[in-house]
């Protein structure tokens, strides 16, 4: 990371909306019989409503099974996150273990911009990406700067990409001892682990793994990336920046998600924080808004892109920051592991959802966005209109109802976690109805 200077009712919704049921049957009557010219209209209406009800239930269960499968896929990936792999990467990037560069064993004893080992670090990162089956690219800028990145194209939306990134350079006095374990070999280990685990997976969206140089000189690498990268071919959906995720001296597992009102960055932060509970990762997360601008996500903010930063707790900040003593011996290994799990879960959750969107459709004034979903019961609902929100069980029983206002609303629906899923129906002030299914995890 660069220095700071640089209601309660038994009435069923179907009865409310469509009128009383008198014929409760699952048999299908030919449409020609229903639409017989001598048949009263209310009979036609009842049969039509029954078919609509069946269709809606099928659609809800389809969504549920899709999200359940998505959750299982992400869980399977998270089970493969390996702490030894993370520490192995940090050890090599900080000179504890040797690396092989062009057939010769070398020690990365410093990653300051004008030190030769910093170039070795870039080569090591590129070699690791190549070993995983990617085609690494070097992006040169100024006299010494070099970003390293690799692209894994999506199979449905190859022109829409999610980025996971970290800076690999470091700073300390003396410059030839800038080992930078926490700042930021820790973040690099997370990006490498994501690349390792996702190399054989298929995603609808493109994934980009990036290592930035010269962050410590004022985000020079990430700014160059935003100037030079081919965004016409790969539009950026969101950026996950990892910086200083290994130090947790008081072992409280507190970490921060930094965001600001650029593009959909606030919405992204609000959506991903719930994944910590969904996948039982075990961090104590908070959202910082306005977040710091002192790391590479800010270069994306400044070009109008959606981005967040994952970083350790400011109240327990690394006391060896920007010194030669920033070593992995001061890591909380479990904290590093959990941060990487959270970052990979966030990346995979969005990149694996072909129907995902990070924006509210401005053409639908009442369509609410619910996040996180799945959830432990504490959620946010964001809508263009206020109105009356009703919460239904899947069998149609009204559980509760209360007014909501336009914009973000914090909801506590944890009392119904045991149900697995509920339907949220917003009757907007304009009179329109919109429904969402909320999946609740115990």
Average of per-residue pLDDT across 343-355: 89
The per-residue pLDDT for range 260-295, each reduced to its tens digit, is 988 889 989 999 999 999 999 999 999 999 999 999
Q: Which long-range contacts (CB under 8 A, 24 or more apart) does 319-323 make?
A: 319/249, 320/182, 320/247, 321/1, 321/182, 321/183, 321/244, 322/3, 322/171, 322/172, 322/173, 322/183, 323/172, 323/173
User: Residue 402 burial by CB count (10 A; 0-12/13-18/19+): exposed, middle or buried?
Assistant: exposed
Q: What pLDDT does residue 411 have?
A: 92
* 6-10, 186-190, 408-412, 433-437, range with the lowest pLDDT: 6-10
The whole-number pLDDT of residue 18 equals 37
* Range of weakest confidence among 175-189, 192-206, 217-231, 393-407: 393-407
d(CA 155, CA 67): 19
Per the structure block, which two tokens stand in for 278? 């969904």
Task: Determine the average pLDDT of the residues in 381-387.
Answer: 82
Band (pLDDT 50/70/90 cuts) for residue 50 is low
Query: Which stretch of 10-14, 110-114, 394-398 has the lowest confidence by average pLDDT?
Result: 10-14
Mean pLDDT of 97-114: 96
**Cα distances (angstroms) measured from residue 223 to each of 139, 140, 219, 263, 422:** 12, 12, 6, 17, 44
The answer to whether residue 223 scores a pLDDT higher than 50 is yes
Q: Name the DSSP letter for residue 181.
A: I
pLDDT tens-digit series, residues 417-439: 888 888 888 887 776 566 677 77
Q: Quick one: pLDDT at residue 432?
A: 59
**Poorest-pLDDT segment among 38-52, 75-89, 207-221, 260-274:** 38-52
Q: How large is the average pLDDT for residues 131-145?
A: 96
Q: Give the pLDDT confidence score for residue 121 in this predicted structure.
A: 98
Q: What is the pLDDT of residue 35?
A: 46
3-state SS class at 24: coil
> In the prediction, which pLDDT does 132 show?
97
For the record, the structure tokens of 6 come out as 């640089």
- pLDDT tens digit string along 59-101? 445 444 456 788 899 999 999 999 999 999 999 999 999 999 9
Residues linked to residue 425 through DSSP beta bridges, in sequence order: 390, 435
Which residues are CB-neighbours of 254 under 8 A, at least 6 positions away?
A: 248, 283, 284, 285, 286, 312, 313, 315, 316
List of domains in the chain: 24-54 (no CATH), 80-351 (3.40.630.10)
Percentage of the chain surpassing pLDDT 90?
63
User: In a 3-state reduction of DSSP, which class is residue 348?
Assistant: helix
Mean pLDDT, residues 237-254 taken together? 97
Task: Please report the pLDDT score of residue 354 as a whole number.
Answer: 67
pLDDT of res. 357: 57
Compute the mean pLDDT over every residue in the chain, rounded to the nearest whole number.
85
* Angstrom distance (rounded) from CA 364 to CA 241: 32
Amino acid 31: pLDDT: 44
**Partners of 150 in beta bridges:** 209
CB–CB of 315/253 below 8 Å? no
pLDDT of residue 115: 96
Residue 28 pLDDT grade (very low, low, confident, very high; cuts 50, 70, 90): very low
Residue 424 is predicted with a pLDDT of 84
pLDDT score recorded for residue 45: 55
In this prediction the pTM is: 0.71
- In angstroms, the CA 400 to CA 388 distance is 11
């Amino acid at each position: 990371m660069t220095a700071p200077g640089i209601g309660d009712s038994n009435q069923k919704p179907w009865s409310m909306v469509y009128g009383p049921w008198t014929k409760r049957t699952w048999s299908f009557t030919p449409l020609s019989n229903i639409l017989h010219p001598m048949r009263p209209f209310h009979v036609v209406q009842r049969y039509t409503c029954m078919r609509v009800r069946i269709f809606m239930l099928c659609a809800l269960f389809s969504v549920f099974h899709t999200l359940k499968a998505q959750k299982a896929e992400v869980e399977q990936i998270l089970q493969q996150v390996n702490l030894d792999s993370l520490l192995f990467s940090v050890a090599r990037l900080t000179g504890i273990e040797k690396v092989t560069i062009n057939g010769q064993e070398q020690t990365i004893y410093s990653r300051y911009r004008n030190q030769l080992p910093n170039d070795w670090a870039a080569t090591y990162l590129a070699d690791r990406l190549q070993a995983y089956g990617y085609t690494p690219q070097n992006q040169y800028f100024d006299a010494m700067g070099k970003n390293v990145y690799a692209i894994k194209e999506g199979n449905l939306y190859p022109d829409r990409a999610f980025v996971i990134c970290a800076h690999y350079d470091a700073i300390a006095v003396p410059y030839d001892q800038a080992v930078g374990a926490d700042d930021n070999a820790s973040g690099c280990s997370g990006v490498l682990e994501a690349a390792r685990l996702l190399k054989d997976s298929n995603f609808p969206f493109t994934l980009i793994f990036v290592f930035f140089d010269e962050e410590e000189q004022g985000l020079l690498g990430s700014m160059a990336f935003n100037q030079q990268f081919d965004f016409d071919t790969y539009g950026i959906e969101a950026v996950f920046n990892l910086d200083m995720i290994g130090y947790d001296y008081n072992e409280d597992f507190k970490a921060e998600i930094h965001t600001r009102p650029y593009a959909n960055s606030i919405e992204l932060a609000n959506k991903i924080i719930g994944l910590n509970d969904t996948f039982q990762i075990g961090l104590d997360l908070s959202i910082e808004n306005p977040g710091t601008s002192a790391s590479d996500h800010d270069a994306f903010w400044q070009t109008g892109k959606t981005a967040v930063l994952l970083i350790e707790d400011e109240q327990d900040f690394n006391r060896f920051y920007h010194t030669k003593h920033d070593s992995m011996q001061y890591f909380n290994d479990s904290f590093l592991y959990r941060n990487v799990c959270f970052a990979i879960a966030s990346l995979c959750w969005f990149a694996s959802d072909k129907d995902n969107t990070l924006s509210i459709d401005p053409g639908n004034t009442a369509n609410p966005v619910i996040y996180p979903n799945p959830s432990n019961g504490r959620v946010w609902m964001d809508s263009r209109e206020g109105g009356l929100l009703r919460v239904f069980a899947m069998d149609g029983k009204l559980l509760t109802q209360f007014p909501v206002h336009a914009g973000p609303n914090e909801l506590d629906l944890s009392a119904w976690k045991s149900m697995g899923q509920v339907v949220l129906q917003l009757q907007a002030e304009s009179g329109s109805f919109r429904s969402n299914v909320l999946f609740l995890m115990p």
